[in-house]
Amino acid sequence: MQLHPTGKFDNHASKYSYITAHPLAAAMGAEIEGVQLATLTDEQEREIKDALCRHKMIYLRNQQDLSHAQHEKFSLRFGSFAEDAYTSGVPGHRNVHPLIKEADDQSKMVFGEGWHTDSPFLAEPPAITILRSVEIPPFGGDTTFANSALAYRMLSDSYQKMIAQLRVHFSLRDVLQAVYDSVEERDSPIGRLAATRHATTISEDLARKIRGNVHPLVRTHPVTQEKALYVDCSYAVGIEGMTRQESAPILDFLGAHLVQPAFSCRLRWEPHMVVVWDNRLCVHQAYNDYQGYRREMYRTTISGEKPS
């Protein structure tokens, strides 16, 4: 039986002057009220950024006035756009990436399935992701998040010491194979990736993402200095300097430790929500559980530093 020291959970909201934050779960997440992103003020921006660091994932309801251009403008308050590893954007807004699954798509995998942090196989993975909903199935299509800073704090001192200097190899390899095995070819980010299964040679761009990058397993958040596990169950394929047999038990343990329910929260989407998460402090996962219904989302990603 596994017990969690209760004193290590703290998802209380701070008292703000220009926004209100309501915690979603004990581990992480908060709803932000009192804000229309289309007319965001600088004071609200400052408090939203503080709430994001504190809660790791924040969400706002009723943002129906947000156009693609305003989604971009809000995103740019967090930094410049990141390289998006999967899509090329909607016409006229190349940094707004459509994540649309049609009702008749029979694919056995959906974009974002499997616990992950966004694109850790890049040299400078995106720090922040901003996802906006337009159409949501009547049930299903939730997103779950897990707090990787809390998961780090919940490790014993001995385990923390053991992993302090380890570096993880992240690669697109296994996710690409899962896409090839289970996704229909369609005009969608994951459908277009599936279509590359017929290529006789791999493009340099794909080869670069399969080669991937090596990053510290424990990273320090540049703003809060909070330490968090930087590992996931999708892109982490090895540990630098270790054989597969040596690294597998560590990655398996940490992958399971990270995403246990005690460290997570589950977001039930509504149309016109905007969700912001910090990939340096949490992992997330989408679900392919709404077959027969359409889900339409738009995503931007904000560039991050080299993890350290």
The residues binding ligand SIN (CB under 6 A) are 99, 111-112, 129, 143, 284, 286, 297, 299
Kindly state the smallest distance separating residue 286's Cβ from ligand SIN, in Å: 3
Can you tell me the distance from the alpha carbon of 221 to that of 127, in angstroms, rounded to the nearest whole number?
Answer: 10
* Closer residue to ligand SIN in complex, CB, 25/239: 25
Choose between 229 and 286: whose C-beta lies nearer to ligand SIN.
286
Question: How far, in Å, CA of 295 to CA of 270, rounded?
Answer: 11
Residue 181 vs residues 11, 93, 250, 290: alpha-carbon distances, Å: 39, 31, 27, 20
- Work out how close the CB of 219 gets to ligand SIN at its nearest, in angstroms, rounded to a whole number: 19
C-alpha to C-alpha distances, 277 to 4, 118, 144, 191, nearest whole angstrom: 24, 10, 11, 25
Residue 161 C-beta: closest distance to ligand SIN, Å:
32
Residue type, 204: E
Output 247 or 301, the one with its CB closest to ligand SIN: 301
Q: Percent helix, strand, coil in the chain (nearest 5)?
A: 30, 25, 45
For ligand SIN, the closer CB: 141 or 307? 141
CA gap 232, 253 in Å, rounded: 11
Residue 301 CB, nearest approach to ligand SIN (Å)? 8
Nearest-Å Rg of the Cα atoms of the chain is 19
CA–CA distance, 307 with 214 (Å, rounded to integer):
9
Select 227 or 299, whichever has its Cβ closest to ligand SIN: 299
Q: Is 197 helix (H, G, I), strand (E, B) or coil?
A: helix
Q: Nearest-CB residue to ligand SIN?
A: 112
Minimum Å distance from CB 299 to ligand SIN? 6
Closest Cα partner for 65 from 57, 74, 53, 77?
74
- Is the CB of 89 or the CB of 227 nearer to ligand SIN? 89
- The span from the CA of 239 to the CA of 250, in Å, is 9
Measured from the CB atom, is 32 or 286 closer to ligand SIN?
286
- In order of 101, 154, 172, 250, 293, the CA distances from 308 in angstroms are 35, 20, 21, 20, 41
Q: How far is CA 99 from the centre of its chain?
A: 14
Report the nearest approach of ligand SIN to the CB of residue 145 (Å): 10
Structure tokens at 290: 């709404």
Residue 15: CB minimum distance to ligand SIN, A: 30
Q: How far is the CB of 256 from ligand SIN (least distance, A)?
A: 20
Residue 112 vs 307, nearer CB to ligand SIN: 112
